[in-house]
């Protein structure tokens, strides 16, 4: 199975490293998908955001945690902005800033999620086409 996956990765030009039973595929923009082949019964796929990415900054985490982290952060920012509306004369600026921040996080979340899930689906097709 590993040789099939490696052949497809090379064929389609993916940048990856081989660490024995673990293949790490670099997807760009600090996104990595780890393919764990240590269990012969199943393949584990783990998405990971390395440091210095557009979604979490310098924090390394997986995609699910990044989305949870950003949702909690947006709630906190929303509460702060709600408290600030009493002190700011023109609250439209706060609404614009919050909307821009929410849009930024939403776009990058969708980008990373789509990129990781598309790769995982391709990998599943490769494995199903060439079972070993």
Decide if pLDDT at 93 tops 90. Answer: no
pLDDT in tens, 111-127: 999 999 999 999 999 98
Give the per-residue pLDDT at 132. 64
CA atoms within a 13 Å half-sphere pointing along the CA-CB vector of 3: 1
Decide if pLDDT at 89 tops 80. Answer: no
Give the per-residue pLDDT at 64. 95
b/e per residue, 1-36, with b = 16+ CB within 10 A?
eeeebeebbeeeebebeeeeeebbbebeebbbbebe
pLDDT in tens, 23-80: 999 999 999 999 999 998 889 999 999 999 999 999 999 999 999 999 999 999 999 9
Decide if pLDDT at 88 tops 90. Answer: no
């Amino acid at each position: 199975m590993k040789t099939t996956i490696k052949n497809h990765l090379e064929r389609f030009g993916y940048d990856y490293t081989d660490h024995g039973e673990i293949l790490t595929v670099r997807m760009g923009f600090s996104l990595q998908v780890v393919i764990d082949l240590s269990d012969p019964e199943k393949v584990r796929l783990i998405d990971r955001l390395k440091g210095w990415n557009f979604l979490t900054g310098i924090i390394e985490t997986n995609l699910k945690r990044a989305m949870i982290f950003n949702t909690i952060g947006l709630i906190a920012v929303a509460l702060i902005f709600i408290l600030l509306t009493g002190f700011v004369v023109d609250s439209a600026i706060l609404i614009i800033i919050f909307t821009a921040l929410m849009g930024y996080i939403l776009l990058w979340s969708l980008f990373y999620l789509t990129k990781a899930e598309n790769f995982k689906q391709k990998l599943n097709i490769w494995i199903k086409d060439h079972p070993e």
